Amino acid sequence: MAVQFMFGVPVPVTTPNPKPTPEADNGIWSLYVGDLDPKVTEADLVDKFRLIGPIASVRLCRDSFTGDSLRYAYVNFFTLLDASTALWFLNHKELKGKPIRIMWSQRYPLARKTGIANVFVKNLHPSFTSAQLQTMFSTFGKILSCKVAAENGKTKGFGFVQYDSEQSAMAARNALHGTLVKGKKIYVSKFVKKSARTVTPGEAMKASLQGQNKNLFIARAEQKEIANCHMEKLKAESLPLKNSTHPVHYSSFQSLGKDLIKQRKHSNTGNQSFVGNPLRASKMKTTLSKSHYSSAESKC
């Protein structure tokens, strides 16, 4: 098996099995053109693609209510040769300063929707483009679609490669996963839809700890609120009452303060009877309220 170097990475050269060409719809060969700038018009597309050959038609898809561009279109040619040439030479080229993405129009996009033969690539260098991604992965088979995710002109460091067969996708994963590209070790795996992903034990533990920290913060805030509330009561009731011959006793409030201090120390130890259980904290607050200041006439 021959080997060539691409971006400093040894890549085996394989000869994919020939695949049948896309079927023409009534003698018209259709290309999907995506990732368009919102300002691109039908006239812009005609000017871009007519240099390849005669165009049968161009349809820019728009919102049915607002009329705004949906940022993708279909360009139809009379011959397979012209359509293939446009796909080869214009894919990932810029139109109004933004690279466009071209692929054969799929009347039955089941493979794309189910993730079959779709590869997910992450940890890409910020300067890595969709064109470079396609060049690197095209060695392993016929690519239907290739894209590096970007936002506001900046790449997000990950992308997707859709092959025409699962065998090509597996060959690309096995050969390129863990290789260094522009000084970064890339991660290549089978694409899995978000709805079908499973949570790993590590991710579950991380989420659990985050939830416990959040509940602990809420419980401590409730403690602080209770203490501040009754400190205000203590200050207000410490004034001498007119025409009263009996001193005011504050033993219940002192006892409450001691219980709150003990409870706070208890929560800091990470005891699961309180930490991460705001419902029990709420019940405890209610119990303390009933036992220590049942004689109070009004709530804070």
Cβ neighbours for 63, distance < 8 A, ≥ 6 positions apart:
69, 70
Q: What local confidence, expressed as pLDDT, does residue 101 receive?
A: 94
Domain boundary, last residue among 73, 104, 135: 104
Cβ neighbours for 144, distance < 8 A, ≥ 6 positions apart:
103, 104, 106, 111, 112, 162, 163, 164
Length of the chain: 300
- Give the count of domains, the chain: 3
Q: What local confidence, expressed as pLDDT, does residue 192 receive?
A: 79
Are both 113 and 191 inside the same structural domain? Answer: yes
pLDDT tens profile 271-289: 444 444 544 445 544 554 4
Instruction: Specify the pTM.
Output: 0.55
Cβ neighbours for 165, distance < 8 A, ≥ 6 positions apart:
19, 117, 141, 142
For 236, other C-beta atoms within 10 Å of its C-beta total 8
Q: Which helix (H) or strand (E) holds 187?
A: strand 187-190
Are both 189 and 234 inside the same structural domain? Answer: no
Does the residue 87 lie in any domain?
A: yes
Q: What local confidence, expressed as pLDDT, does residue 197 receive?
A: 53
Q: What local confidence, expressed as pLDDT, does residue 117 receive?
A: 87
Low-confidence ranges of the chain (pLDDT < 70): 1-25, 107-115, 193-227, 229-300
Does the residue 299 lie in any domain?
A: no
Q: Do the beta carbons of residue 130 and residue 155 sit within 8 Å?
A: no
Does the residue 158 lie in any domain?
A: yes
CATH of the domain at 93: 3.30.70.330
Q: What local confidence, expressed as pLDDT, does residue 96 receive?
A: 93
b vs e for 35-71, b when ≥16 Cβ sit within 10 Å of the residue's Cβ?
A: bbeeebeeebbeebbeebeebbebebeeeeeeeebeb
- In whole angstroms, give the CA distance from residue 86 to residue 240: 94
Q: What local confidence, expressed as pLDDT, does residue 294 receive?
A: 45
Are both 183 and 216 inside the same structural domain? Answer: no
Give the domain extent around 45: 23-104
Does the residue 16 lie in any domain?
A: no
Q: What local confidence, expressed as pLDDT, does residue 300 receive?
A: 42
Does the residue 59 lie in any domain?
A: yes
Are both 207 and 139 inside the same structural domain? Answer: no
Q: Do the beta carbons of residue 46 and residue 55 sit within 8 Å?
A: yes
Q: What local confidence, expressed as pLDDT, does residue 86 receive?
A: 96
Q: Do the beta carbons of residue 170 and residue 164 sit within 8 Å?
A: no
Are both 174 and 216 inside the same structural domain? Answer: no
